[in-house]
Amino acid sequence: MGFQPYHSPSTGCEVGAVLFDTFGTVVDWRTGIARQAATFAAAHGQALDAETFADDWRALYQPAMEAIRSGSREFATLDTLHRENLDHVLRRHGFTPDRLDLRALEELNKSWHRLPPWPDSVEGLAAIRRRYIIGPLSNGNTSLLLNMARNVGLPWDVIIGSDLTRTYKPLPRAYLRTAEVLDLRPGEVMLAAAHNHDLHAAREAGLATAFVARPTEYGPGQAADLEPESDWDLSASSIIELARGLGARASCAA
């Protein structure tokens, strides 16, 4: 018998697209940023706790976007927010940004464009792509996500960055506008993510949901998102396992 597309128990719809949170779910941002920050520090003759540097830079991510989500600031791309946050984290770690070469700072900021995938990501995405539309549903801007994909071979069908939706997750528009661009109903789109809060917001917007465990995203001491915190449609330990789950046969909800 031929392939039968996955039907979401929560939405009652046949899934047509599987979209992925990217930072932490598809790529290992902490390792990637730490490695590139260590290289930057060595080039400037300065010692650096690179993992803490990566954690501190990432910690400024949500507050920067919240200013935009709340309406207190006009939309700015994630590249712009990362660049602003970079100056703050450099100062915290003993650098003086005003004395550093601007091209070197821009190159360091583009570390987010060069993050390594988790070992299962490319193979798992390729398997899912054989049956479903795949792409990122990320707070990253289009050029960032495009460069990331080209650098490590992420086989996306489509890239709809936050600069196109003009909003940031977890606001409903981030999920709904992406489904609209794909000409799909929200229930025909599945978000796969390693973060339960992202999946809660996606479910509230009407999307199908899948949890992919990344228990070392924040390093060996990670305490959150170690397991699914709700009855998501699917739960998997890798994107390869998620691909197998999406191949399961199920009947359409009435």
- The Cβ of residue 190 has, within 10 Å, a number of other Cβ atoms equal to 31
Question: pLDDT below 50 — which residues of the chain?
Answer: 248-254
Instruction: Identify the three-state secondary structure at position 193.
Output: strand
Instruction: For residue 48, give every residue at least 6 positions away whose Cβ sits within 8 Å of its Cβ, in sequence order, or none.
Output: 37, 38, 41, 93
Per CATH, the homologous superfamily of domain 17-28+115-246 is HAD superfamily/HAD-like (3.40.50.1000)
Residue identified by tokens 């031929």 is: 2
* Predicted local confidence at residue 248, as pLDDT: 42
**pTM metric for this prediction:** 0.95
CATH 1.10.150.240 placement within the chain: 29-113
CA distance 200 to 209: 9
Do residues 194 and 200 touch, judged by C-beta distance below 8 A? no
Q: Which amino acid is at 109?
A: N
pLDDT tens digits for 170-190?
999 999 999 999 999 999 999
Query: What does DSSP say about strands 17-20 and 133-136: parallel, antiparallel, or unpaired?
Result: parallel
CA distance 218 to 198: 16
Q: Is 173 exposed, middle or buried (0-12, 13-18, 19+ CB in 10 A)?
A: middle
Report, at the CATH architecture level, how domain 29-113 is classified: Orthogonal Bundle (1.10)
Alpha-helical (H) ranges within 44-171 are: 50-59, 61-69, 78-92, 102-109, 121-129, 142-152, 162-165
* Predicted local confidence at residue 3, as pLDDT: 79
Residues in the chain, total:
254
Peptide bond into 170 cis (omega under 30): yes
Do residues 22 and 136 touch, judged by C-beta distance below 8 A? yes
CA distance 249 to 251: 7
* Predicted local confidence at residue 249, as pLDDT: 37
CATH 3.40.50.1000 placement within the chain: 17-28+115-246
